[in-house]
Amino acid sequence: MTETAYIEDQELAKRCSRGDDNARKKLYTKYAAYIFTLCFRYVNDRALAQDLMHDSMIKVFDTIGKYRPTGSLKAWCTRVAVNLVIDHLRKSKRMNLVPLEQSQKEVYQPQEDDIEKIPKAELLRMVAALPQTKRVIFNLFCVEGYSHKDIAQMLGIKEKTSSSLLFKAREQLAESIRDYIKKNESL
């Protein structure tokens, strides 16, 4: 993020916290599509993602006074949205969090060259096809960059459970990639 963009975001946040509707509209326009995509990654349901995006933006507006310019406004909005989505999933009991105490065997690891041959839309479909809990943990760890400790606290699980579920998600994705490559090698 450039220094100019950082300063613009700080000013935008200040204006929003003062109730400036033009600033709120600008912030919404700037980040709503990104927040929708983030929500959709977790719930894999367009209508629910739309609702969660709107709820996230309302929460951003309601709590913008808590934003501290130690990081980007986008990162702060992301954290607000992720927390809201996780709370929604926990309350709606859409995640089945069962501790996994299995040894983690070696898994097929797709080569980078193989992954590059797969269209991005197909890779996103593979992630979307993961069961809810695995998809949430995969997104939190691999996309958002949360640690297993953070994930465990957010979801009310043990760190080992987070790690195990991430392993299972990666295992399932690796299998999907291998199947895709095998299917498309003969074409």
Where residue 115 falls among pLDDT bands split at 50, 70, 90?
confident
Residue 173 pLDDT exceeds 60 = yes
**Calpha distance 174→184 (Å, rounded):** 15
Report helix, strand and coil shares of the chain as percent, to nearest 5.
75, 0, 25
* Alpha helices (H) in 92-116, listed in sequence order: 112-116
Q: What is the pLDDT of residue 106?
A: 55
User: What is the mean predicted confidence (pLDDT) over 95-119?
Assistant: 61
User: What is the mean predicted confidence (pLDDT) over 71-86?
Assistant: 92
User: What is the mean predicted confidence (pLDDT) over 113-119?
Assistant: 78
Structure token digits, residue 83 = 């927390």
Neighbours of 83 (CB within 10 A): 13
**Calpha distance 14→117 (Å, rounded):** 45
> pLDDT higher for 176 or 6?
176
Where residue 99 falls among pLDDT bands split at 50, 70, 90?
very low
pLDDT tens readout for residues 122-144: 988 999 999 988 999 999 999 89
Question: Do 12 and 68 form a contact (C-beta atoms < 8 A)?
Answer: no
Residue 171 pLDDT exceeds 70 = yes
Question: Do 155 and 139 form a contact (C-beta atoms < 8 A)?
Answer: no
User: What is the mean predicted confidence (pLDDT) over 58-79?
Assistant: 90
Mean pLDDT estimate for the chain = 86
Residue 8 pLDDT exceeds 90 = no
